Amino acid sequence: SLSTFFRTLQRLGITRKKVSRRALERNDEKRAAFMNNLADIAPNPEMLMFGDKAAKNGHTLARSTGYSPRGTRCVQSGCFIRGTRWSILPIL
């Protein structure tokens, strides 16, 4: 049964958590250089401002939760190449 399955996962120390997505195209050297550049521009994180918008593309259908052993992250690796992007910003 389903409840037996979830109890077994719990006994094995496997917990449900939010999935961290990692792009296969990710370049760790460029990423570190960007973070260093950002730290030079804004040494205090309170200096940063972020905007938000609603949009839909092929990645919005990806699972947002998964299972992994306790103490480890649940990571999903995949291509981040986007398809057609639909934004509701022009509608507002």
Angstrom CA distances, 78 to 18, 36, 39, stand at 16, 26, 28
Cα gap 20→58, rounded to integer Å:
17
pLDDT tens, residue by residue, 14-68:
988 888 877 777 888 998 999 999 999 888 888 887 766 666 666 556 677 887 8
pLDDT value of residue 68: 83
Each domain of the chain, given as residue ranges in start order, spans 2-26+53-91
DSSP 54: -
Q: Virtual CA dihedral for 21, 26, 28, 29, nearest 10 degrees?
A: -160
